[in-house]
Amino acid sequence: MIIASNLEKSFGPQVLFNSVSFLINPGERIGLVGKNGTGKSTLFKMILGNEKYDSGTLSTPKGYRIGALEQHIHFTQPTVLKECIEALPAEKQWDHYKAEIILSGLGFSEKDFKKDPATFSGGFQVRINLCKALLADPNMLLLDEPTNYLDILSLRWLKEYLNKWPGEMILITHDRDFMDKVTTHTLGLHRKQAKKVKGGTIKFYEMIIQEEETYEQTRKNLENKRKEMQNLVDRFRAKASKATMAQSRLKMMEKMGTMEKLSTEKNLGFRFNHLPCPGKTIMNVKNLSFAYNGKPADYIFSDITFSIARNDRIGIIGANGKGKSTLLNCLAGELTSTAGEIIPHPSASLGHFGQTNIDRLESQNQVLQEILRSNPSLSLQAAHSICGAMMFEGDMAKKKVSVLSGGERSRVLLGKIISHPTNLLLLDEPSHHLDVESIECLIEELSDYAGALVIVTHSELILKALAKNLIIFHRGRAEYFHGGYEDFLEKVGWEEEPVSEKKVKTKMNKKEARKLRALERQKAQADG
């Protein structure tokens, strides 16, 4: 358990925490929410002892072990499996099968177990760290955005795994659906303080709305009461017979005090700028195939045919590395297909959100300059309005791209897309760096968008809310599916089943099995 009492933390003039207090009881799994910049990751660093707080106390029981998903990559072993086994507690050193179960669930094949961990992509290296964090079996597990580098299959597996987690856990993730399905409580950082509720994120935000509505109504009532008293004082102050009454009212007003009006919380708020298309179909894709080396034997996808109607909602789903982003980049004209053709309508106007676009932001430009660069015909006032909608108000619009966080750069790219009219949005993980509130806003705006949408996402929440049809990368190919994500789960489903503990144990060699049985006997004798 963890007890935090009156924590204070500032970075220069910026106050992050003001008298933050909370209690995490045994067995509780906590979803930690709050807008970007409210201090979620800082709180994790404090709990781990990597960041000092200005005042207050943060205490845990003696011998209480806290583990975390390490973002820093540092490997010392020659293979993935050996690297992960190193994380096992001493008393569980022979439980190699647990490492195999977790690695398999996170998308590693048996061949991958024997590979050098340094040869994997950054996303898969973070997965190795996630495996190590789970194997360490701490009393408290801190997971900061574990879903960022997971595909939809690994997310589904991790969801089941965390639901069986026996200890305490605090989870930060932008995926509200994932969070709500694995947590028992929600702890929110709001207006420099912390509030905790039993239940999911919706219950937390409903509580916040209700509390602030009550506060504002009380403040208005108090303000009206003070005005009434002030009017009486002004009327009777000059009359000797009423002077005592006036002084009494003044003393009452002093005792009443004042309630400050709540500052307005900044929220992502925008509208995609739509350009009507006269045609019913905005893009036709015929027998499309792609290989980076141009060889048919190495096609990432092949012979896929589909059309995009002017108000379609298409989700592209599948495991990582199968070609989802590659297909989207072909549709956007970022890549040239190896075979087949893409025929856009003459009036097609695309808005493309992808990692390559974020990388192309000019680092020395200000946010405002990037918006204007996307559409030079914009007036300065309109460009400032877009900056404000992307939460770059006033002088924030003058910040250079080079100093922006990943989430801020994502918002700049969204601003560039809405700065010019479009009728087809091609979005690759647009929610990746957004907080929960911003994702809700994005879903709402995409629902209202009058044009067509093709989106790559691992978020089942977004898929269920938006996708009417799917392009599925599975079973060694890409295919078009007529129906939404719920239809896919019901009629087709994911063919990859989670690896069971029994299945992995049967694959262990005899030597490991003997060691495991010997260890289990030792445990039984010790317990007996």
As given in the structure block, the two tokens for residue 333 are 């004209």
d(CA 33, CA 436): 8
197 and 209 fall within a common domain: no
380 and 480 fall within a common domain: no
The answer to whether position 430 is within a domain reads yes
444 and 331 fall within a common domain: yes
Give Rg (Cα) of the chain.
Answer: 28
d(CA 454, CA 259): 48
DSSP code for 191: T
Angle at 338 between CA 333 and CA 339, to 5 degrees: 105
Q: Looking at residue 1, what is its pLDDT?
A: 86
Q: Where are the beta strands (DSSP E) in 407-485?
A: 424-428, 452-456, 469-474, 477-481
Q: Which has the closest alpha carbon to 399: 164, 503, 411? A: 411
Q: 252-256, long-range: CB within 8 Å, 24+ apart, which pairs?
A: 253/226, 253/229, 256/222, 256/225, 256/226
Q: Looking at residue 502, what is its pLDDT?
A: 47
Q: Looking at residue 240, what is its pLDDT?
A: 57
Phi, psi of 5 (to 5 degrees): -135, 120
459 and 393 fall within a common domain: no
Burial zone of 399 (CB within 10 Å; 0-12 exposed, 13-18 middle, 19+ buried):
middle
311 and 404 fall within a common domain: no
The answer to whether position 354 is within a domain reads no
40 and 186 fall within a common domain: yes
44 and 166 fall within a common domain: yes
Structural domain of 391:
362-420
298 and 247 fall within a common domain: no
63 and 167 fall within a common domain: yes
Are the CB atoms for 97 and 103 separated by under 8 Å? Answer: no
Q: Looking at residue 300, what is its pLDDT?
A: 92
The answer to whether position 528 is within a domain reads no
Beta-carbon contacts of residue 499 (< 8 Å; ≥ 6 apart)? 100, 101, 104, 105
> What's the CATH code of the domain at 188?
3.40.50.300
Q: Looking at residue 525, what is its pLDDT?
A: 56
As given in the structure block, the two tokens for residue 306 are 């589909």
Domain end among 204, 233, 264: 204
pLDDT truncated to tens, each residue of the chain (528 aa)? 899 999 999 998 889 999 999 999 999 999 999 988 889 999 999 999 999 999 999 999 999 999 999 888 899 999 999 999 999 988 888 888 999 999 999 999 999 999 999 999 888 999 999 999 999 989 999 999 999 889 899 999 999 999 999 999 999 999 999 999 999 999 999 999 999 999 999 999 999 888 888 878 888 877 777 777 777 677 766 565 566 666 676 677 666 666 677 766 666 778 899 999 999 999 999 999 999 998 988 899 999 999 999 999 999 999 888 899 999 999 999 999 999 999 999 999 999 999 778 888 999 999 999 999 999 899 999 999 999 989 898 999 999 999 988 888 989 999 999 999 999 999 999 988 788 888 888 999 999 999 999 999 999 999 999 999 999 998 888 999 999 999 999 888 886 544 444 454 444 444 454 554 555 555 455 554
Query: How far apart, in Å, are the Cα atoms of 15 and each of 18, 325, 444?
Result: 7, 40, 32
Q: Looking at residue 506, what is its pLDDT?
A: 46
Q: How many domains does the chain have?
A: 4
Q: Looking at residue 259, what is its pLDDT?
A: 66
For the chain, the 3-state helix, strand and coil shares in percent, each to the nearest 5, are: 45, 20, 35
The answer to whether position 451 is within a domain reads yes
Q: Where are the beta strands (DSSP E) in 79-221?
A: 140-144, 168-172, 185-190, 193-198
Domain end among 371, 396, 420: 420
217 and 99 fall within a common domain: no
187 and 90 fall within a common domain: yes
The answer to whether position 503 is within a domain reads no
The answer to whether position 267 is within a domain reads no
Q: Looking at residue 434, what is its pLDDT?
A: 83
d(CA 469, CA 316): 9
Q: Looking at residue 511, what is its pLDDT?
A: 47
77 and 65 fall within a common domain: yes
- The single-letter code of the amino acid at 334 is E
- Beta strands 469-474 and 281-290, pairing class: unpaired
The answer to whether position 523 is within a domain reads no
Q: Looking at residue 320, what is its pLDDT?
A: 84
3-state SS class at 508: coil
Find residue 188's DSSP bridge partners.
Answer: 33, 195
Q: Looking at residue 229, what is its pLDDT?
A: 73
The answer to whether position 518 is within a domain reads no
Alpha helices in 172-200 (DSSP H): 176-182
Q: Looking at residue 42, what is its pLDDT?
A: 94
Q: Which has the closest alpha carbon to 413: 423, 393, 428? A: 428
